[in-house]
Amino acid sequence: MADKPNEAPAGAAPPPQTMSKKEAVKRSLKKLGRGAMPLAIRADVKRRFDIDLTADYAGRLKAEVLGKGPGARKPAAEEQAPAEGGNGKGPAIPLDDILTLKTLVDRVGADRLRTLIGVLSG
């Protein structure tokens, strides 16, 4: 049976796949360990994956991969749990009350409302 022209011979290595520099550094760190220095990472990436990168860039990618660099994911404000009870010094003021107060300020003015609060609290 004849081989198809697109197929490689049975004993040949598969064609090289393109790999990102970050992925190469990640694999190198897996082999060398977390404490590997950027120069060692650079040499390993060049030898194993034939990818050129500077030691500085290898160090930055290492920091990203390990979650310590500027490219590392930081939790967004929406993902953090909201604080309960306001500032911890007393109960929080409900949003409806704040909106009602804003309506009063708009209607009667801040100075007149301050005077009214002074009379009621004093």
| pLDDT of 64 above 60 | yes
Split into its structural domains, the chain has a count of 2
- What is the arithmetic mean of pLDDT over 19-37? 92
Domain contains 86: no
Domain contains 87: no
Residues 61 and 25 in one domain: yes
Domain contains 105: yes
Domain that holds residue 99: 92-122
Domain contains 34: yes
The pLDDT assigned to 96 comes to: 86
> Are the C-beta atoms of residues 49 and 33 closer than 8 Å to each other?
no
Domain contains 71: no
DSSP string across the chain: -PPPTTSPPTTSPPPPPP--HHHHHHHHHHHH-TT--HHHHHHHHHHHH-----HHHHHHHHHHHTT-STTS----GGGSPPPSSTTTTSPPPPHHHHHHHHHHHHHH-HHHHHHHHHHHH-
- What is the arithmetic mean of pLDDT over 46-74? 85
Question: Looking at per-residue confidence, does 94 or 37 come out higher?
Answer: 37
